[in-house]
Amino acid sequence: MGSPIADFVHDALMRGVSREDIVRELEKGGWSSKEIRAALEGFVDSDLPLPVPRKRVSSSPKEAFMYLMLFASLYTAAFGLASVLFDLINLSLPQPGEFAQRAIISLRYGIASTVVAFPLFLFMCRVIAGESIRNPGQRISPVRRWLTYLTLFIASVSIISDLITLIVRFLAGDLTLRFVLKVLVVAVLAGAVFIYYLRDLRRDEIAPSAEFRLTRAAQAGFAIMLLAVLVTLGFGFWYAGSPMKARMLAQDAQRVEDLIRISNKVQLHYRNNGVLPESLDACDHNPATFVDQKRDRVTGQPYLYHVKDATHFEVGAGFALPSDPSHPKSIGSRLWREEDGFWEHGAGPAIFTIDATRKMKEVY
């Protein structure tokens, strides 16, 4: 026992005092309803002449592992789903000059996070529900209570921040449909988590050791949540495109980067020697103009290089797909820009004619 109220309840039950009389007398003593209820819950309502203590739940490593996995998967799935919805909004309502490919890359990360974390969350819910049936007292676990209140705090902060941002944008006259939809996404996700776990805590306060069972309303809410996640992922997969297409686009982007490097090395050779090299091998005599990638990295075929006249040369390669104007080209981690449409290409062989006398553009 250990506490005065627990000792009092134990002694009163030993003497056959009813629970109603115990509650009434403890209230006269200034104890709160919550404290009284917790003390009475420490003993089973039994017909035996002796009070039967209820098993207390200890913070075991197994219990901590289960609830940490549950809430970690919940956070990951929620943030992943929000990311997917944000990217779908960005792709559906693009802004001028915005690269769609960046949103698609982010969309793939969100899909991957949701696909991994959401089934794990459902699995941990099932495991913990089974444990609660076998041991109803586990629902008053200290670990579970702490993580539940932490989740309520995070959801509350998200909702408050969401509303503050909405009001600020409204007062600034800067509300757009795209922004409003993102605000709704945060409000719905955070609100759903907050309401569910708040009801869960209230149910535990009423009957902390009751057997865990889903009500019809909870089952309907679960079905709606599952359907919403599946629909969102379906749209995400549709926008993200097939993995094979993404792979071929990445390979074509690499071919363009290789051609840019080749053309820059040839131009530097022309600037140093006053003539164009007869072949790419001629550039290798100088370390500054050395061409390290003369062949297609996928097919192994040599890249086209042809001297057209004294100041013009051609470079070319075979491409798997037509170029995507929304795809940001990059070399390493830096974006590059050329003349509008210069490096655009169709599927199959493409040849680009370059003037060696033009000023070399910086790659940035």
pLDDT of 339 strictly over 90: no
Of all helices (H) and strands (E), which one includes residue 315? strand 312-319
CA–CA gap between residue 121 and residue 68 (Å, rounded): 11
pLDDT of 340 strictly over 60: no
Out of 172-176, 244-248, 347-351, which region has the weakest mean confidence (pLDDT)? 172-176
The pairing of strands 330-331 and 334-335 is antiparallel
pLDDT of 313 strictly over 50: yes
Out of 18-32, 98-112, 207-221, 298-312, which region has the weakest mean confidence (pLDDT)? 207-221
CA–CA gap between residue 153 and residue 140 (Å, rounded): 19
pLDDT of 200 strictly over 70: yes
pLDDT of 332 strictly over 90: no
The proportion of the chain whose per-residue pLDDT surpasses 90, expressed as a percent, equals 30
* CA 323 to each of CA 136, 243, 254, 331: distance values in angstroms, whole numbers, following the listed order: 60, 17, 12, 16
Side-chain half-sphere CA neighbours of 28 within 13 A? 5
pLDDT of 334 strictly over 60: no
Pick the closest to residue 254 from 343, 129, 170 (CA basis). 343
Sign of the alpha-carbon dihedral angle for 216, 218, 221, 223: negative
**Where does residue 106 rank: exposed (0-12), middle (13-18), buried (19+ CB within 10 A)?**
middle
**91-139 pLDDT tens trace:** 888 877 666 777 888 899 999 999 999 999 999 988 888 877 666 556 6
What DSSP character marks residue 213? -
Using a CB cutoff of 8 Å and minimum separation of 24, what contacts does 169-176 make?
176/93
- What is the reported pLDDT for 134? 67
Tracing tokens 């000792």 back to the chain, one arrives at 7
Tracing tokens 């945060």 back to the chain, one arrives at 186
pTM summary value: 0.63
What DSSP character marks residue 204? H
User: What order do you get walking across the sheet with 304-307 strand by strand?
Assistant: 304-307, 312-319, 348-355
Out of 197-211, 287-301, 328-342, which region has the weakest mean confidence (pLDDT)? 328-342
Q: Which residue has the higher pLDDT, 182 or 102?
A: 182
**12-71 pLDDT tens trace:** 888 778 888 888 888 888 888 877 887 877 777 777 777 767 666 555 777 888 889 999
- What is the reported pLDDT for 213? 58
Q: What is the mean pLDDT of the chain?
A: 82
Of all helices (H) and strands (E), which one includes residue 335? strand 334-335
